[in-house]
Structure 1
């Protein structure tokens, strides 16, 4: 049972590290705060909040996975290697795709409430 709870400690440590050291993670967290405020002001439905929360979790998780990929690649090689660059680019691309889709979904949810 002790190992089970220790895993939560390590996970929290990773989240805190990401929030403190990663510029994009800070950006996504600030966006999360603004979207939350907008959601509170516009009175989102339970279903809309569930969608927003899934997007928050997906975005932050993908950003942390991308950071993990970058760290592992940097650990494995300091040389410029095409595959290392591709691994980093694909990870960044995954984050970008999710961010664009999240923004579109956000517009679908919020625009009708604002206009």
Structure 2
């Protein structure tokens, strides 16, 4: 059996540019179409400068930023699940509902993680307790 060497996504530097373009299109669509993503992005952009103030060291700062990025990543995946589910069918189906509910639960858990990390960090900063 012969393998087709004409990859649809390209190869080398061309593949990198295509991936960057897809990233741009995905982020643009999320910002334009998804209110939850816009809200979480705004929160992340507001908290980012604060992270430089409250972080006690570089690893602490990294943790603060990573949890913000985690929320955005999970929201993007949730939005993709919802879009794909709606693309397949807008009819009510138990599996479609389950997929959307699980995506929503993932976003909620990522927000809980972020709230815990930021809450403890803010508590430590305000009280001086390390």
SS of match in other structure, 1:50: helix
Shift, 1:43, TM fit: 4.9
Partner of 1:111: 123
Alignment of 1:98 with 2:110, yes or no, is yes
Alignment of 1:30 with 2:42, yes or no, is yes
CA shift digits 1:6-40 (9 cap, x unpaired): 11111111012112221111111111122113223
Bigger relative CO (Cα 8 Å, ≥ 6 apart): 1
Q: CA RMSD in A?
A: 1.4
CA shift digits 1:39-76 (9 cap, x unpaired): 23335421111101211221111000000000110011
Partner of 2:78: 66
Structure 1: runs of 5 or more not aligned: none
Which structure shows the bigger proportion of residues in helix conformation?
1
What's the TM-score, normalizing by structure 1? 0.91
Q: How many residues align?
A: 115
What's the TM-score, normalizing by structure 2? 0.81
Which structure has the larger Rg? 2
Alpha carbons of 1:52 and 1:43: their partners in 2 closer, same or farther (altered >3 Å)? closer
